[in-house]
Amino acid sequence: MKNLIHPMNNPNNDAKSKTVLFRTLLIVYLLFLGLLAMLSTGCKKDKADTAAMEVMMTDAPAEFLNVYVDVKEVRIHYVTNDTSDTSSTSGWVTLNTNAQVYDLLELRNDLTVALANKNDLPVGRVNQIRLVLGSDNYVVTKDSIAFPLVIPSSSQSGLKIQTNILLEAGTTTVIVVDFDAEASVREQVGGYYRMSPVIHLKSSMKK
């Protein structure tokens, strides 16, 4: 009688099982590598298509003890580079504003304060910045007397600053807005002061 080999003990079955297992593991490994490549490509594309922006504020010296301005919003007029993408951000954009009353005279000697923290935006160009102010604006003179500070149109259209700033991919553009309080504030008949803002972009840096 011939010796019978049970199917479970057949060496040919073991070899086939190992081959199937190896192929399965190979397919899983290749799929995993493909997924990693897709994720990596997506991350690189996102980074290549975005930039970031911050807005700071400073002031030149002035003959007052304090000059307070009530900042409510920082807006930018922004145009993306991709004119074919109708869903992209264009027009007026309100930045992440640190809304509060600021004393301009605390920002002398190259000190700055962040009006708008880092905002991620598609690559494009900023051609105007507007500072929208509230009503809590006033000055304190050298003899420690407080007077109302009138800033025309500041709460409606905002203080306008013309710019031509390119937001480049993978960078953060830091814009420093320089308020010249000495040149901007004038005493008026009737016991108040008026601001006709003299504002400059003191610097534009990339980091």
- Asked whether the predicted pLDDT for residue 64 surpasses 80, the reply is yes
- Domain residues for the domain of 106 are 51-206
Tell me, yes or no, if the pTM score tops 0.85. no
Does 101 map to a domain?
A: yes
My answer on whether 135 and 39 are in the same domain is no
Q: How confident is the model at residue 121 (pLDDT cuts 50, 70, 90)?
A: confident
- As for how many domains the chain has, the answer is 2
pLDDT of amino acid 134:
93
Does 1 map to a domain?
A: no
Measured distance CA(67)–CA(76) in Å, rounded: 24
My answer on whether 112 and 21 are in the same domain is no
Does 103 map to a domain?
A: yes
pLDDT of amino acid 45:
46
Measured distance CA(73)–CA(14) in Å, rounded: 73
* Angle at the Cα of 140 from the Cα atoms of 137 and 146, rounded to 5 degrees: 75
My answer on whether 81 and 152 are in the same domain is yes
Most confidently modeled of 18-32, 124-138, 159-173? 124-138
Residue 164 has phi, psi (to 5 degrees) of -150, 70
Residue 192 has phi, psi (to 5 degrees) of -150, 170
pLDDT of amino acid 75:
93
Residue 175 has phi, psi (to 5 degrees) of -105, 125
Does 25 map to a domain?
A: yes
My answer on whether 16 and 90 are in the same domain is no
Measured distance CA(171)–CA(49) in Å, rounded: 11
Buried b (16+ CB within 10 A) or exposed e, 172-189: bbbbbbbbbbbebbeeee
Strand pairing category for 113-122 and 192-195: unpaired
Does 156 map to a domain?
A: yes
My answer on whether 187 and 102 are in the same domain is yes
My answer on whether 83 and 170 are in the same domain is yes
My answer on whether 43 and 55 are in the same domain is no
Tokens representing 52 are: 């970031």
My answer on whether 34 and 116 are in the same domain is no
My answer on whether 70 and 31 are in the same domain is no
Tokens representing 85 are: 């993408």
Does 2 map to a domain?
A: no
What CA–CA distances, in Å, run from 153 to 45, 67, 68, 200?
A: 42, 18, 17, 18
CA-based torsion, 7, 8, 14, 16: positive or negative: positive
Percentage of the chain exceeding pLDDT 90: 27
Does 20 map to a domain?
A: yes
Tokens representing 187 are: 């005493």
